Structure 1
Amino acid sequence: MPLLDTPVRFGVQIQPQHTPYDGIRDAVRRLEDLGVDILFNWDHFFPLTGEPDGLHFESWTMLGAWAEQTERVEFGALVNCNSYRNADLQADMARTIDHISAKGGDTGRFIFGTGAGWFQRDYDEYGYEFGTPGSRLDDLAAGLERVEARWAKLNPAPTRKIPVMIGGKGEQKTLRLVARHADIWHSFVRPDEIAHKVDVIERWAEREGRDTSNLVISNEVYGHGVEHGDALYDAGARLITFGFRGPDFDFELIESWLRWRDSKNA
C-alpha cells in the first residue's frame, strides 16, 4: 500500500494564463508566505481555458525564476510534457533548477512532474509530432529511462534524488510507468476509484520488482469543498492540489484549504 503514515501536503497549481507575470510572481510570494507546501505550474504554450489566444507563459523558464525567488516551498510542473524537449535536456534542466533552488546548504526543492502530453494545439503550432496516445506513452517510457540515466552522469549530480511525479490513470501503460519510476502518482480520479488504481500499481510493481510502499498519492480538488478533501484523504491521498486561477487570485480560499490540511495533521 502506498505511503499513508505521512503528513498531508497542500499544493497549488498557479495557472500560467490570463495573468501578467507580475501577478504570478506576487502569487508565488504570497502562497509561500501562507505556508503552501508545493507550487506547480503547467507545461503548455497556450491557455487551456478562456480566451484561446490570451496571455500565457512557458513552464520551465518560469520554474527557474521560482527556484531563485522561493526559499522553502517545493515546486515543479504539473506536469511537464515529455514530447516538447529532448529527454537528456529535461534531465539537465531539472538538475540545474534543483541546484538553483538549494539555499543555505539545504538540498534542492524541485519535483520532476512529467506526462505524455495531450494538447494538440501545442504540438501543431510548435512543430512537434502529435502521434497517438500510445506512441506518446511509449516516448514517455523511453524518456524516463534517459532522464534517470542522465541524472546518474551529470556533474555536479542533483543535490538529492529528484522526486518523480507521473500524472495519469491508464492501467496498461501509465500506471506501469508509475510503478517503475514514480515517487508521486497524480490523477483526477474519484476517491472511490483510488483503491482500484492503487491495486493496479501494486500489481505492476510486483512485476517490475519495485517497492511502492513510499509512493505518495496526489489528487486535485479544484472546484470542490473540503468534504471532497476528506474523501480523498480517507482513500489514501496525501498530496492535495488546487488549481489557482488569476488574475484575481482568491487567497482566502487557499487559507481555508490550509486550515483543512492542518486539521488533518494535528
Structure 2
Amino acid sequence: MTNSDVRIGVQLQPQHASYARIREAVTEAEDIGVDIAFNWDHFYPLYGDPEGQHFECWTMLAAWAEQTSRVEIGALVTCNSYRNPELLADMARTVDHISDGRLILGIGSGWFEKDYQEYGYEFGTAGSRLNKLAEDLPRIEQRLAKLNPAPTRKLPVLIGGGGEKKTLRMVAQHADIWHSFSDLDTLQRKSGVLADWCKEFDRDPSEIEHSVGVQPGKPEDSGPAYLEAGARLFTVGVGGPDYDLTSVREWVTWRDSL
C-alpha cells in the first residue's frame, strides 16, 4: 500500500463560529494537505448551544469551490429530505463546475428532528426517509444526465449510513464511497453485508471506497486496524469556534508515512 491509496478528510462542522473563521479553516486544511474538506447539512448545531451560530451547507460549498483550488469538497452528508432531488442534482452540478470538478455528492436520508420541525419538513420515520432516498437517487442520476452543461465528471456519490437492509443496498447500487458511522468490529461485519449486496448488482466491492470518521488521537493507534478492515478514507471532525486542526495534521503526516 502507498499513501496514494489512503485519503484524509476534515469535516469542518459549520456551527458555533463566524464564517470568517470557517473560511480561514478551509484554507488551513488545504494547506495542510487534506484530500477532502466536508461540512454537514443541518440548520442548527448538533451539540453545544442548540441555538448557537450555524450556517447552511450548499451555499457554503459554493463559496469553498471558489476559495479552494485542490481539495475535493462535499457534505458529510446532505439530507435528502431538504431539497427536491432534481434541484439537488442541479445544485451539485453547478458546484461541480464552480470547483472545476472537485465536488463529492455526499447524501443520506436525514435524522435530526429539529431541522425538520423548524423548517417545515415532514419528519416521518427512519424507514420512510430511507424509502424516499431510494426513490430519489435514480431521479438525481437521471437529472444529472439531462443537465446542460453536464457535470465535469461522473460525480462521486458518497452515501452515509449502515442499515443493512436498505442503506447498504443503496450503497451497492449507487455509491462510489460508503461512509460508516460504526466502530471497527461493526465496520468489518457491515463490509461483509455490503459485499453481499454488491453481488446483486454485479459490482466489485473494491470499487466502493470505505470511509470512516476518526477521533482525535494518535493515528498509528487506530489507523492500521481500520486499514486492515478496508477503510481508505479517514475524516476528522472539527468544530467551532476555533477549528483546531492539530489532529488533522497528525493524520496527514500518518498518511504520508505509509
TM-score range, shorter chain: over 0.9
Cα distance in 2 for partners of 1:233, 1:76 equals 23
Find 1:229's aligned residue among 202, 223, 231. 223
Q: Please say which of residues 176-185 and 215-224 is displaced more in the overlay.
A: 215-224
Report Cα offsets for 1:143-170 as digits up to 9, x if no partner. Answer: 1110001111110000000000000001
Q: Does the aligned pair in 2 maintain the 1:217–1:239 contact within 8 Å?
A: yes
Aligned to 1:31: 29
Cα distance in 1 for partners of 2:200, 2:249 equals 42
Aligned to 2:252: 258
Aligned to 2:53: 55
Cα distance in 1 for partners of 2:232, 2:204 equals 18
1:166 maps onto 2:164 in alignment = no
How far apart are residue 182 of structure 1 and its match?
A: 0.5
Find 1:249's aligned residue among 243, 246, 250. 243
- TM-score when normalising by structure 2: 0.96
Find 1:149's aligned residue among 142, 151, 157. 142
Cα distance in 1 for partners of 2:56, 2:114 equals 14
How far apart are residue 220 of structure 1 and its match?
A: 0.6
Q: Does the aligned pair in 2 maintain the 1:97–1:110 contact within 8 Å?
A: yes
SS at match of 2:91: helix
Cα distance in 1 for partners of 2:149, 2:60 equals 23
Cα distance in 2 for partners of 1:189, 1:247 equals 27
Q: Does the aligned pair in 2 maintain the 1:4–1:238 contact within 8 Å?
A: no
Aligned to 1:86: 84
Cα distance in 2 for partners of 1:249, 1:125 equals 27
Change in 2 beyond 3 A, CA 1:216/1:199: same
How far apart are residue 252 of structure 1 and its match?
A: 2.4
- Counting only pairs closer than 5 Å after superposition, residues 2-21 of structure 1 correspond to structure 2 as 7-21=5-19
Q: Does the aligned pair in 1 maintain the 2:161–2:180 contact within 8 Å?
A: yes
How far apart are residue 36 of structure 1 and its match?
A: 0.7
How far apart are residue 206 of structure 1 and its match?
A: 1.3
- TM-score when normalising by structure 1: 0.93
How far apart are residue 189 of structure 1 and its match?
A: 1.4
SS at match of 1:55: coil
SS at match of 2:178: strand
Report Cα offsets for 1:44-69 as digits up to 9, x if no partner. Answer: 00000000000000000000000111
How far apart are residue 195 of structure 1 and its match?
A: 2.6
Q: Does the aligned pair in 1 maintain the 2:238–2:245 contact within 8 Å?
A: no
Q: Please say which of residues 58-67 and 193-202 is displaced more in the overlay.
A: 193-202
Cα distance in 1 for partners of 2:211, 2:73 equals 14
Find 2:105's aligned residue among 99, 112, 126. 112
1:198 maps onto 2:196 in alignment = no
Cα distance in 1 for partners of 2:37, 2:44 equals 20
Amino acid at match of 1:228: S
Cα distance in 1 for partners of 2:24, 2:169 equals 38
Gaps of 5+ in 2: none
Aligned to 1:105: none
How far apart are residue 6 of structure 1 and its match?
A: 5.6
Cα distance in 1 for partners of 2:202, 2:120 equals 38
Q: Does the aligned pair in 2 maintain the 1:6–1:238 contact within 8 Å?
A: no
Matched pairs, number: 257
Cα distance in 2 for partners of 1:126, 1:211 equals 40
Q: Which runs of 4+ in 1 moved over 6 A?
A: none
Identity %: 60
Aligned to 1:185: 178
